[in-house]
Chain A
Amino acid sequence: MRILLGYISLVNPALWVGVSALAVPLAIHLLTRRTPKNMTFPTLRFLRAARAHQSRLYHLRHLLLLLTRMALLLLILLAFLRPVLMRGARRRAASEAGRTMLILMDVSASMGYVQAGVSPLAQARAAVLEILDHYEAGDRLNLIFMKVTPDASFDEPSDNLFLLRRDLANVTAVPESPDINAAIAEAVSQLRGVTEGRHQIYFISDFQRTNWSSVNFDQVDADTELLFVPVGPERGENCAITDVALRPAAPTVAEEIEIVCKVTNYSDRSHQLPLQMRFRDGEDFRQEVRLEPRATVSSSFHLRIHDAGQYEGQVFIPEDGLKVDDRRNFVLDVAEKVRVLIVSDEDPRDKETGTAFLRRAVNPFPQSHDAAVVSSTVSSREVSKSDLDTAQVVILSGVHELSRRSGEAILEYLETGGSVAYFHVGAAASQNLERLAAWSEGNFVLPFELSGLIDLARQEGYATWAQANFDHPILRKFRDSADLGDLRFERFFSTERAKDKGRVLLRYDDGNIAMAETLVGPGVLLLCNFGCSLQHSDVVRHPLFVPLVHEIIKGLRPSVGRRNTFLVGQPCFTTIRSVTDDERVVLRDPGGESVEGNVEVNDDGVAVLFPKTSACGFYRVYVGEAIAGSAAVNLDVLESNLERLDMAQLEELAQQPRTTYFAAGDAAGLAGLLEGEPLWHYFLLAAVGLLLIEQILVLLVRH
């Protein structure tokens, strides 16, 4: 039985009989009170004067003492009645329909953090059980696990607690970063299917600042109550490997490779940790790193690899509370040669075209097996994703009108970290650039506009390069050389600089831009406002041509490993060599289980896409029994920073007009939210205060 007094509920009303105790001081007072006897007294006028000087309060002090004692007993009685303050989350009118409660439970990687043997996931599980335990007839619930893709127990809220408990018992932390907005959208969608009763969304999470600071609550209906139940530590101590970068990202045989590891300390203490790197079936590398509080350090391993191939590597530090981010996987693709893909629509048989000169500049000795850089040529219509994936640098020269498919393939190549050099040699260049900009949907802005072709050959004139940015890696080697000014250019486009867009590397003596670069996502697009054919310039005749082309290739080689690592929960892909019909291709996840994927075969090789990843490690492509290729999948670094978002900020995010409730960060907090806040200790405190007052009054009465 429970008695509700306004918003205060008395859990133990059986003790109401104790109210009779209130009569004790009253009875004592009445019993000890004597009827005053009449006393004929001569000096009454002095008594009257004496009483006139005393306050009314002084005269009533016995009554005050009595009232204090009764109030004292009343407070003690109320404390034993166990009053609880009912907040809105639990308060429910008798006539009200059942609640619809969507429980959004965070099961991301950070929930697996273990401190003192307890993980936030275990706390979250206990919190959900607590909510389920407070189920009342008419309530409907659903459990949505917040992952990359939200995973709901039911398609709509249900009263099947058995299945909810089963799902809850089976859930584990996944090495993913949660898509909180998607989970909220799923909850809102389910709530909109229910018209009656109160709508509540419970968020049970560690409320990592990195994940929650940009959550959009606007999609939640105004009449939906939001209840936040934080679990786990407010500032968990964690160290993580947050990045592994390869320089160069696609090294070639015998080239020095720098593997740069970033290790971040998310704790308030400094650490000295061994950082180890290990290749599959290879040797270990090890060095010590010192991590200052809340700081990131970079540490590099240098090595050279003398055999081309794909190498699976791991960098790791000693395991801590969050193990999943103490290891980071990467794939090192060591190529035999640097592959340059030349996209050109010029006649490949014509030896005087700019493309022909470029091809010869890239590899002056095509018959030699020792060439470090090799090129392949493909027409703009035939360029495919697999062509692009195998190339470290793509050169566009003499390209006619780009098809949408080709253009989007090139843009995707750029947006995934690829580098493209575009030599403007035809009238189509201007249109192609505009199309690329349009197809990129704002991801790509030209540093200049091509307004018209300048043909100085008719006037028997030419232009030279007058300004150069020698700080750029492509031109750095020409800093001390005056030869760049010797080059003569007869045909090029007049340009109009777009303010603050891209970077200009070279200018003609008439002020037009000769070379500029712009970023397209992580990729680089180098715009060369000149052609390599003899009709455009004499650059191919000059000894600088070949070094210039090689510096361009070197400068454009990817500096970040776009293919070396993928995030868990996202698709990943890799390429392998061509396979024959007899060879069996099997795709396996890091656990060795066979998984499905998309395999795209082309002339140069096979591109394999794993549409979904669910674990950190290597997703491998087996041809027969041998590993033909692999993709390294790692945890999103957002999961490593365990700092909790301040509840005040969270409240601000989930602002009015919604009603929000916040449980204290422990089981008692949630119980307080569900059952009401216990008030007995306040009553006991007040009783102690009254006891002090009573003692003071007794002293006053006595003296």
Chain B
Amino acid sequence: MAQDVNISSRSESYKYLDESALAYLRHLSFAARGAVDGAYAGKHRSVVKGRSQEFTDYREYLPGDDVRSIDWRVYGRTDRYVIKLCEQETLMTCHFLLDSSASMAFGGSWHKEYFGSHDISKYDYACYLAAALSYLLLRQGDAVSLTTFNSAIRSHLPAGGTLSHLHRVARALQEQKVRRDTYIPHVLRQAFPLLKRRGILIVISDFLDDCDGMFEALDMYLSRGFEVVLFHVLHRHELELPKLASVNFVDAESGERLTSVPEDVQAAYGRELQAHIDTIRAGAEARKIDYDLISTQTHYPVAVRDYLEQRRRRCAYS
């Protein structure tokens, strides 16, 4: 059952917790695709049978079982020790892996320098996205963990399911700075032992990395029962090059330079980028991973709403 979360209950305000946007998302819920593994009772079906109000089956008592689980009524009638099995509703844990490499800074102050107006950077967008989803998950009683990374894990906030945890998440996002290059496969392997409880792994990144290595790493999570969701965040000027006369492009991570007229290379660039996106999409579809390409031009509550709507339909269908 959803609980109301008052994000302004404390005097602190957080950059990525926008009340109007969260109010817009208030009536949405993040549905679990299947049974989830949770330590606390919650709204999602659990893979563990235990005590609960919904009876499922009996089994013979085995040494080591909790004697409190023996159904004494059955013993009274049949003189057999049996245990009553019930489906337990548990909490869902959602692990956010958020890319904070240098490439995620694209679009922020740079946009103002070239076009005179501020524009949201990929990192900010990713943070807003993570905060909004965390709010929704915490609001429906689930737990959320946050891991930020570039070429390695930079911070890890273990899973928590309270309002104060939302504040911790928001603070952690706010305190992070983008830097260095990305190496997602390495990060995924590094995070694997940290994420002890099965749940949903949400990776928010621009995925300018080795796709094959990333999917190999994700296969570990999938085999362990994680559901994986990939949010591919790209700036609108990455999807369509800015209309400038001549630009000296500098690679955000390697520092490499290339001078060109964007208009000249737009078509060929678009083909190359689309090929990269198609590779990720194909890899995700093959593994039944949710993949959502989001442009920073799309207002993030809308992007969250659209994704959740699609997810709800998929869950209902399955």
A interface residue numbers (CB < 8 A to B): 33-34, 36-51, 53-54, 58-59
Contact = CB atoms under 8 A, between A and B. Distances in A.
B140 interface: no
A50 B249 contact: no
Given A40-B106, A42-B206, A47 B249 contact: yes
Given A47-B258, A47-B260, A51-B260, A41 B268 contact: no
Interface stretch (B78-86, B148-156, B270-278): B270-278
Contacts, number: 91
Interface stretch (B195-203, B240-248, B304-312): B240-248
Contacts of B249: 39, 41, 44, 47
12 contacts: A38-B257, A39-B249, A40-B105, A41-B252, A42-B122, A42-B208, A46-B269, A50-B267, A51-B265, A51-B268, A53-B268, A54-B264
Contact of A37 (B102, B114, B267, B276): B114
Contacts of B104: 42
Given A38-B250, A40-B250, A44-B251, A54 B268 contact: yes
B256 A44 contact: yes
B276 A46 contact: yes
Contacts of A33: 246
B273 A44 contact: no
Contacts of B247: 36-37, 39, 41
B280 to A, nearest CB: 13
B114 A39 contact: yes
Given A46-B276, A47-B258, A51-B258, A40 B265 contact: no
B256 to A, nearest CB: 6
Interface in B63-122: 102-106, 110, 113-114, 122
B100 to A, nearest CB: 13
Interface of B: 102-106, 110, 113-114, 122, 206, 208, 235, 238, 242, 244-254, 256-260, 264-265, 267-269, 271-273, 276
Given A46-B269, A47-B258, A50-B265, A34 B248 contact: no
Contacts of B250: 38-41, 44
SS of A interface (majority): mixed
A136 B26 CA distance: 105
A45 to B, nearest CB: 8
Contacts of B259: 36
A19 B269 CA distance: 42
B248 A36 contact: yes
A50 B106 contact: no
A628 B242 CA distance: 114
B273 A36 contact: no
Q: Which 7 A-B pairs have the closest CB atoms?
A: A50-B268, A42-B103, A46-B272, A36-B246, A44-B251, A36-B248, A50-B269
B102 to A, nearest CB: 8
A58 B264 contact: yes
B258 A34 contact: no
A37 B273 contact: no
Given A42-B106, A49-B272, A54-B265, A34 B251 contact: no
B112 to A, nearest CB: 13
Given A39-B247, A43-B238, A44-B250, 10 more contacts: A36-B245, A42-B208, A42-B251, A42-B253, A44-B254, A46-B272, A47-B258, A49-B272, A50-B272, A51-B268
B132 to A, nearest CB: 23
B258 A44 contact: yes
Nearest to B271: A50
A42 B260 contact: no
Contacts of B276: 46
A74 B175 CA distance: 64
B189 to A, nearest CB: 23
Nearest to B274: A46
A702 to B, nearest CB: 9
B208 to A, nearest CB: 6
B238 to A, nearest CB: 5
